[in-house]
Amino acid sequence: MKARVHVMLKTGVLDPQGEAVRHALSGMGFDGVEGVRQGKVIELDLADGTDEATIGEMCEKLLANTVIESYSIEVI
């Protein structure tokens, strides 16, 4: 089975990479972009039957810094 974990900075946490992307897009003539938040996607190949609680534990312990990041799990 596969799972995707989407990790994003929490609302209110400064995102300098996102701001750099927004600024670069503006410099390229894409003036309609008012904000950019950059995150990461982690794809996991897991043994069949791995439950979402176990994936959540992986996120809490390693994949996301839960102080400043939130995550969502998508089993695919």
Taking the C-alpha atoms of residue 7 and residue 56, their distance in angstroms, rounded to an integer, is 12
- What range defines the domain where residue 59 resides? 2-75
| CATH number assigned to the domain comprising residue 66 | 3.30.1280.10
Taking the C-alpha atoms of residue 33 and residue 30, their distance in angstroms, rounded to an integer, is 6
Prediction pTM value: 0.86
Q: How distant, in Å, are the alpha carbons of 27, 32, 58, 74 from that of 7?
A: 27, 25, 12, 11
Whether 72 contacts 4, CB under 8 Å: no
pLDDT, residue 55, reads 98
pLDDT tens sequence across 27-74: 999 999 999 999 999 999 999 999 999 999 999 999 999 999 999 999
pLDDT, residue 65, reads 97
Number of domains present in the structure of the chain: 1
DSSP E strand boundaries for the chain = 2-9, 39-45, 69-75
